Amino acid sequence: MTRHTRILMSVIYWAFIVYLFVPLVLMVVMGFKDSKFIGFPIRGWTIEWYTGVMQDAEVMGVFAYSMAIALASTLLSLVIGVWVACFLGPYKFRGKLIVFAVTCLPAVIPGIISAIALRIFARGIDIEPGMLAIILGHTVHNVPFVALVVMARLSTLPRSHIEAARDLGADAIVAFFRVTLPYLRPALIGAGIFCMLLSFDDFVRAYFLGGYDPTLPVLIFAKLRSGMSPEINAIATVVLVLTAVLGLWAERSMRRLNKGAS
Amino acid sequence: MAHLESKYVEAPCAPAKPAQSGKAARRSFWGSLLASDTYQAVVNVLLKNERRQFWVLAAFPLAWVFFAHLGPILQMFWISFLDSYPPTAGRQPQFTLSNWIAFFQEAIFVMPFLRTLIYSVVFTTCTLILTYPVAYFLAKHVKRQNQLLFLLLLLIPFWVGEIVRTYAIMIMLGNNGALNLALKWVGLIDRPIPFMYTGFSMGVGIVYLTSLYMLLPLYSALEKIPNSYLEAAADLGAGSWHRFRKVTLPLSKEGVASGCTLVFLISTGYYATPVLLGGPSTTVFAETIAGFFHVAGDKWPIGAAFSSLMLITTLGVTGIFLKLMGRSGKGMMK
Amino acid sequence: MGYSANDRQAVVRLDRITKRFGEVTAIDCLDMEIMSGEFITFLGPSGCGKSTTLRILGGFERPDEGRVVVGGQDVTRLPPNKRDVNMVFQDYALFPHMTVAQNIAFGLELKGKTRGEIDKRIGELVDFLHLSALRERTPDQLSGGQRQRVALARALAPDPKLLLLDEPLGALDAKLRGQVQVELKDIQKTTGKTFFFVTHDQEEALTMSDRIVVMNAGRVEQDGTPEDLYFRPKSRFVAEFIGETNLIEGTVRGSDNGAIVIDWNGLEVRGAAQQGPVPAAGQSVAASLRLENVQCHAERPEQPNAISGRVVHRIFKGSRMALDIRVGEPADAVIKVYMDANEAGRFPQEHLWISWDPQRLSVLHG
């Protein structure tokens, strides 16, 4: 590789970083602008928009609603995902590949189609649009990710650990709770935070499965349709900070997981 | 070895002395559980033999994936052949093909469909071209101990959701946005260019949203290529372009294939981004489909038919693409 | 707690065990009793069925035919958690999220012991195995030898009738291994537990065992004391597998003063049949001669069965010297000899004489 291409490459990398960060930085900056109008030039600064959002009962209610959905669907996804992984990981049986493909299905279907299919499905099993339907939708979407992460971790668990537990008097159930589950802990933390992010950030499923109460992304979408305003920037910035923190935490725990596996 | 004279053998796990009290006399939770008759009775039924253990473990996951993962898709197909859904009182839905036929009768249906496919292919290609050098730089030029840090820098924006990032792009591309400001400041333009509500703004948004899904598979494929291969090729006198064409590209093929598949599938599925960044001339099929679900419920079968059509098409396109990649990959290996 | 052979009772009975994996027969009709308090080693190359035997005893595999009886109870169909048998795993399988004390407590807790009993038992074991200072450490903070001792403590804690050890020294480096072998033997003696040890390392087996069972291709080749196996191998496989040996293949010419005379590439060598009938003249046989049982002489000795030879290789091995001595016309008529490295200086010439006690050349069956 010549010097020139090396320099060119690093320029492209940093340009890409700029492309990724500038819009987000601008969004945050605009949230401090002392004007209702989004755009340049900026003549004055204020934190009014942020304090306004913090005092806005509607926004805070929506925030709590989104959080509740994220927590519930994450918990469900973890339980189901672990169960699926513990079945699909170690056992060999005919048709395993089909079951695996069906498990991964929700992760590869384009968002809008998944949302529509779940909307029809929820109607079919008599779940009204609303919190329950969104939780179901997010759980279906998250289970493949949990299952994949847990299966990866599970494959590094030496069989002898389970056998040792059995040998010392544990039946299959006790061995699972006392040996397998603690071993999966880092994977569960990582996958859990990832599920929280997916659920908290999701728009399309929440939009089609939701009732009258919007989730945070749906609220931002609705507000955007009636025009941009620094208030939206403030909400979006809060979401951004929260997700970035969650993401960094997930990253850290996954990193530790990889270290533990090696 | 003095310790061997310990009283170990004479005191093998003496039976519990009744004198023990408090914490010392307590059994562990799991010990008590295993000792309880109720638990043992349940376990004897559930874990009677290997076969039953398998089914106890398998029943729920199988039920869940086939019911909740596959069920909605199958139901959507089913409904696409009904003349009305949700069913109204006193009327049995009839089988019909008209929902599927409707698609081909109206240009306002066909056009968004074709547009979606073309856009997605174009956006996927753009993402590939944009991220390949970035992934290459990361995998081959950044020192190994710094790679995590550099990768993390790329990851942070991707934890932020679709809507927030779409909004960020709106601020960026608006008539009073940063891009126009910058161009004006440099002196390239006097009047702002209307970037927004065009295919361009949509493209910038979707590439922005999807590039990580391209970057990560590319990075992991490139990272696996041993540097010695490239050195060997250089040693044999291959120029850098030749080296790229004959060594790097074929070896990163798997990453290209999975990255493109992911980005294509994801970009066809966006709804909010095209609505917010696109205009009337850039309506995509997701918007068309969504239209049938905003209004009265009797349009659901058409929406289901269109969704099914799109699902089959996207999965078909990726299937063909992966097959082509696989085949040419084998050809190159020879 | 001395045990003599007389007061031992069978603690385990393997009753015509057969185990197949698909087409492969891993164990072929194994019939055996394991005596209380003995250190028994199953020895053999990988795939010989020794590990499968261990896993059947532990309850991790179920035999296709036959019964396993432990302490008078038929446990053939019982899962591992219902058996009075504990195991030290090859990789120790210490639970990484638990401390040493918690690992040792694991089996006791599940047996329904109270906190007080458990603490007392852990105290005994950590004292006994020199683990007191490590109680609160997790397995990743332990050295290989320490882990091995924790695994042993954990398996001993529930006071099993039989302790299974699956190549537990394989992960240790060579220097430590020798020391641990002695320790392990001592622990077994002190506790009086029945140890069922599995290994492919013949030296390890010879060092520790009261009794060695050599397996090959699912069958028992020989079952006896280490001395039996070393000096009186019954089969060619055992002779070759245990220690280094000179394998002599030839035809029986007859007998002379109780010794069997064998024609080996035209040379006349004398040996003895250890067990079974004396082979008849004209029969082709194999015989084993240990390297250290060969004497070298600079001059022709008095013995009638001395052979002259020529040194083709001298291999210095530190404490001793290995000599390859060609004794006949064909290139493969070579006898390997061990001698003291200092002594080797007495044979500077290529030419020398060798002899051996005919009782030391064991004529083998099969």
CB C344 within 8 A of CB C314: yes
Question: Which among A168, A183, A185 has CB closest to C106?
Answer: A168
**Range with the lowest mean pLDDT among B6-10, B56-60, C44-48?**
B6-10
Give the pLDDT score at A258.
59
Shortest CA distance from C160: residue in chain A: A168
| Residue B224 pLDDT > 50 | yes
Contact A116, B75 (CB under 8 A): no
Cα distance between residue C364 and residue C245, in whole Å: 13
Beta-carbon separation of C115 and B16 below 8 A: no
| Chain B residues touching A170 at Cβ < 8 A | 30, 34
- At B297, is the pLDDT very low, low, confident or very high (cuts 50, 70, 90)? low
Task: Tell me which residue in A158, A171, A178 faces C93 most closely, judged by beta carbons.
Answer: A158
Query: Is a pLDDT exceeding 50 seen at residue C1?
Result: no
* Residue reference for tokens 């601008």: A26
* C291-347 tens-digit pLDDT: 888 888 888 888 777 888 888 888 888 878 888 888 876 667 888 888 887 777 777
**What is the pTM assigned to this prediction?**
0.86
Residue C34 pLDDT: 94
Residue C212 pLDDT > 50, yes or no? yes
Which residue, C118, C103, C104, is CA-closest to B16? C118
Q: How far is the C-alpha of B157 from the C-alpha of B312, rounded, in Å?
A: 32
The reply to whether C58 touches chain A by the CB within 8 Å rule is yes
> Which ipTM did the prediction report?
0.88
Report pLDDT digits (tens) over A105-142: 999 899 999 999 999 999 889 998 999 999 999 999 99
Express each pLDDT in B25-69 by its tens digit: 888 899 999 989 999 999 888 888 888 888 999 999 999 999 999
Non-local CB neighbours of A150 within 8 Å, separated by 6+ positions: A81, A82, A85, A86, A89, A184, A187, A188, A191
- Give how far A83 is from chain C: nearest CA, Å: 21
- The token pair at C165 is 């050890």
Domain ranges of chain A: 56-261
Q: Is A181 on the interface with C (CB under 8 A)?
A: no
Is the CB of B159 less than 8 angstroms away from the CB of A246? yes
The DSSP annotation for C10-49 comes to: EEEEEEEEEEEETTEEEEEEEEEEEETT-EEEEE-STTSS
Please give the CATH number for the structural domain made up of A56-261.
1.10.3720.10
Q: What is the pLDDT of residue C305?
A: 76
In C146-205, the residues whose Cβ lies within 8 Å of chain B are: 158-159, 183, 186-187, 189-192
Q: Do C89 and A174 touch (CB under 8 A)?
A: no
At C170-192, the pLDDT tens digits run 878 888 888 889 999 999 999 99
- pLDDT of B3: 42
> Does domain B106-333 match CATH 1.10.3720.10?
yes
Q: Where in chain B is the domain with CATH 1.10.3720.10?
A: 106-333
Question: Which chain B residues have a beta carbon less than 8 Å from that of A230?
Answer: none
Band of the pLDDT at B281, cuts 50, 70, 90? Answer: confident
**Pairing state between β C334-340 and C219-224:** unpaired
Which range, of A116-125, B289-298, C76-85, averages the lowest pLDDT? B289-298
- Determine the pLDDT at residue A257: 60
* Contact status of A224 with chain B (Cβ, < 8 Å): yes
- Nearest-CA residue of chain B relative to C192? B9
Round to whole Å and give the CA distance between B169 and B177: 9
Q: Do A116 and B307 make contact, defined as CB atoms within 8 angstroms?
A: yes
Q: What is the percent of chain C with per-residue pLDDT over 90, rounded to a whole number?
A: 51
Q: How far is B162 from chain A (nearest CA, A)?
A: 7
Give the amino acid at B215.
Answer: L
Mean pLDDT, residues B99-103 taken together: 90
Nearest to A168 among C60, C97, C107 (CB): C107
Q: What is the mean pLDDT of residues A142-166?
A: 94
Residues of chain A with C-beta less than 8 angstroms from the C-beta of C79: 166, 171
Q: Which among A166, A178, A183 is the nearest to C80, CB-wise?
A: A166
Stronger pLDDT, B295 or A109, i.e. the higher one = A109
